[in-house]
Amino acid sequence: MDSDVMSNGDDAAVGGIAADRLRSIIERVERLEEERKALAGDIKDIFSEAKSAGFDVKVIRQIIRIRKQEPAEVEEQETLLDIYRRALGM
């Protein structure tokens, strides 16, 4: 048998790579990508529901983004926004 190709049942190695382990990793990533796709579809449905109920989806997305930030960061951004608005006479 070639030294680069080893076979020991469940953990066949090719070129020093454990094929079963590699396959397992790839399949796990593929499953998670499918789950992510399904979740993205669910999120899209929720935004459609919000729009149908009369909510502004763009504003909802902005609120979600803000809620992920640290309170001090949000406060700083709001302060700068206020300063810039006043500077522009808004």
Domain locations in the chain?
56-90
Q: What is the pLDDT of residue 5?
A: 46
Please list the residues that pair with 13 across neighbouring strands. Answer: 6, 18
Q: What is the pLDDT of residue 10?
A: 52
Q: What is the pLDDT of residue 1?
A: 47
DSSP character string of 22-66: HHHHHHHHHHHHHHHHHHHHHHHHHHHHHHHTT--HHHHHHHHHH
List the structure tokens of 52. Answer: 């149908």
Q: What is the mean pLDDT of each run of 10 residues along the chain (90 residues)?
A: 48 76 96 98 98 98 96 96 96
